[in-house]
Amino acid sequence: MATASPQCESDHVFLGLTRPPMFFGITDVYAVFMTFVVMIVFLGLGGMKGILYGLMCAPALYVFGYAMCERDARVFQLWAAKLAYFSQGRRRAAYWGGSSFDPGELPLSSKAAHARATPR
């Protein structure tokens, strides 16, 4: 006798209570980011040109943010966490020769070991 697999049910109250704060369909973090981008465009170009370009880029940024937040409300928080986690090792890679959080655990290359062993 075959049994049906149980379906995972989502509780609408739980989803509503754990959703991030929204501002006209976009998260508040993205709304602040969008405001900064529009203000930089406005201040960078200045005058009437800045107003026009600011008014042109604001709806495009809003539609992009709305589409992304409609799909997943935490998409920008996940993206920021990914950038924060995966970019840490890359900053030290050029100096230490590898991406590591602790440079003391990296093995020294033969060139670096020879340079340290050779008296000056």
Q: Is the dihedral of CA 45, 51, 57, 62 positive or negative?
A: positive
| 10: in domain | no
Q: What average pLDDT does this structure show over 96-105?
A: 57
Same domain for 91 and 72 = no
Same domain for 73 and 99 = no
Domain with 22 in it: 17-77
Residue written as token pair 């589409």: 67
Does the structure show a pLDDT above 70 at 104?
A: no
Q: Is the dihedral of CA 79, 85, 86, 92 positive or negative?
A: positive
Residue 12's pLDDT is 74
pLDDT in tens, 65-82: 999 988 888 888 888 888
CA 83 – CA 17 distance, rounded (Å) = 26
Does the structure show a pLDDT above 80 at 114?
A: no
Own/partner pairs, 39-44, CB within 8 angstroms, 24+ separation:
none
| 82: in domain | no
Same domain for 103 and 62 = no
- Number of domains forming the structure of the chain: 2
CA 61 – CA 66 distance, rounded (Å) = 9
